[in-house]
Amino acid sequence: MYSKIKITGIINIETGMHIGASDGFSVIGAVDSPVAKDALSRIPYIPGSSLKGKLRSLVAKAYSNGDIVSEFNNQDDKITRLFGAGADKNGNHPKPSRLIFSDMIMENIEELKKNGVEDGTEVKEENTIHLITAVAKPRQIERVVRGAKFPLTIIYNAEKENEKELLEDIETVALGLKLLSYDYIGGHGSRGYGRVTIDNINAECVVGDINKEILDKCNELLKRN
């Protein structure tokens, strides 16, 4: 039976995170590289596309044979059935993603304001030095502050009653979330940006009907990692 599993949790920002917004226009004196903010509230958010792309990249590396990750359509079936694939020249039909990612708007902005962080961000001054001329090129990068929290929501579409495949899919999601906690999200991760932890992970059936034992196994897989 067709059903949907909702996976929720909290993404905790452990080091300043930078997911950039468009900088097509900026006034004099503005930050060189601002973070993405919700258009209505102006509160920082993590685009669902950023999380989806990062998780796919991480599990694709984990499942690759060697250091080179295959193109989307040639990746392991565990990946393409979860994250999707396009039609190709060999006549293969596109595969829709079984995962739906939501944008995540910072949920503890009021708490951060009480601690003196008015908009949930900080500006980090950085400098690059030309190796030959020694000329400095300063820049300002906006970051979401350490301590910010974002509500994680992923919907998994269980298209058929196949316990083995469903659990394999959830195990792949769990692997991606585990790898993310040892990696980073956003830009400049090699310089210490974007480290996260994920708490309170939970899976529940929100559409249709899934055997409780299977759902319990899903939660065991998610919480084990």
Q: 128-163, pLDDT tens digit by residue?
A: 776 777 666 767 899 999 999 999 999 999 977 688
The domain limits of the chain are 3-21+38-109+147-224
70, 60 Cβ separation under 8 angstroms: yes
pLDDT digits (tens, 9 = 90+) for 102-115: 999 999 999 999 99
Quick one: DSSP state of residue 208?
Answer: S
The interaxial angle of helices 48-63 and 163-181, nearest 10 deg, is 100
pLDDT of residue 95: 82
Angle at 14 between CA 9 and CA 20, to 5 degrees: 90
CATH class of 3-21+38-109+147-224: alpha beta
Distance CA 127, CA 139 (A): 6
**How much is the pTM?**
0.87
Share of the chain above pLDDT 70, in %: 84
Share of the chain above pLDDT 90, in %: 64
Distance CA 3, CA 210 (A): 7
Q: Look at residues 225, 215, 106, 221 and name the one whose alpha carbon lies nearest to residue 177.
A: 225
Distance CA 195, CA 153 (A): 19
Those residues with Cβ within 8 angstroms of residue 116's Cβ, 6 or more apart along the chain or in another chain: none
106, 120 Cβ separation under 8 angstroms: yes
What Cα–Cα distance (Å) separates residue 114 from each residue in 41, 71, 108, 119?
Answer: 18, 46, 10, 11
186, 195 Cβ separation under 8 angstroms: no
Distance CA 77, CA 34 (A): 37
Q: What is the mean pLDDT of residues 55-64?
A: 91
As a residue count, the chain comes to: 225
Rounded to the nearest integer, the mean pLDDT of the chain is: 87
222, 170 Cβ separation under 8 angstroms: yes
Q: Look at residues 142, 146, 143 and name the one whose alpha carbon lies nearest to residue 115.
A: 146
Q: Give the H or E element holding residue 213.
A: helix 212-224
User: What pLDDT band is residue 31 in, cutting at 50, 70 and 90?
Assistant: low
pLDDT of residue 28: 40
152, 9 Cβ separation under 8 angstroms: yes
Distance CA 106, CA 11 (A): 10
pLDDT digits (tens, 9 = 90+) for 68-122: 666 766 778 888 889 987 766 666 677 889 999 999 999 999 999 999 998 999 9
